[in-house]
Structure 1
Amino acid sequence: MLEALLQRGRDRKKRKMNPKSLANLRPAKPFTSGHRPSKPRKLTDEQLNQAIELRANGCSWRKVGDLLKCNYQTVRSSLRRRGELKPNSGENTKLLTGGEMPSSYDPIPVKLVI
């Protein structure tokens, strides 16, 4: 009774590929600064300048996205592709309470006590 279950899947024939299809396979060109895939920006330069200005005035990413009528992640990624936004650059982050907090990538010196 179990023999039928053991045969299941083993009776399938191996796929044969046409030799002409195999001849078409070749490695892709390596990525260079002139040749690499990238998505086109959805926002214009004017919108990106407005986003930079809004962020400098203290607006949140979500608020900037709402004002530009697009997703806030789109704004962030467009600025990152343009080179205006450096993710977690090690600068201090201003808290809503008025204090400052170092970035998560800012190394904190640790003293060992023996």
Structure 2
Amino acid sequence: ESFELPDADVVVDCFDSKESKNLLSRLAFRNNIYFVHAGVFGYFGQIITLKDKVLEEVFSFGEQKNYIVPQTVGVVASLQAMETIKIICSLEPNLLNKILSVDLLNYTLDTITLRD
């Protein structure tokens, strides 16, 4: 963890391993930078923006599975990109300390607000 992040306003998590996601989250937290996480499995995905928490405080990643539906990745990545654009444009991120849960099997979106 001796890696230093360059000067940035936001860090976007596009990794597929829990170790890399957690490391990047800790680096963003240490540098007080927004961290926009996305993850997918099958027809489901989630997006969250963090600044005062690390990913490990929110998710405990279990055994990783490799069941990915490419269309789910496309939808979740588009939502993640939109959240990132808001931060870059100095707009308030909608998902700060909120999980957007995406269910493409049933076409539902749910938002869960984290407790402090």
TM-score using structure 1 length: 0.32
TM-score using structure 2 length: 0.32
Which structure features the higher share of helix residues?
Answer: 1
Higher relative CO (Cα under 8 Å, sequence separation at least 6) belongs to 2
Q: Specify the structure having the higher radius of gyration (Cα).
A: 1
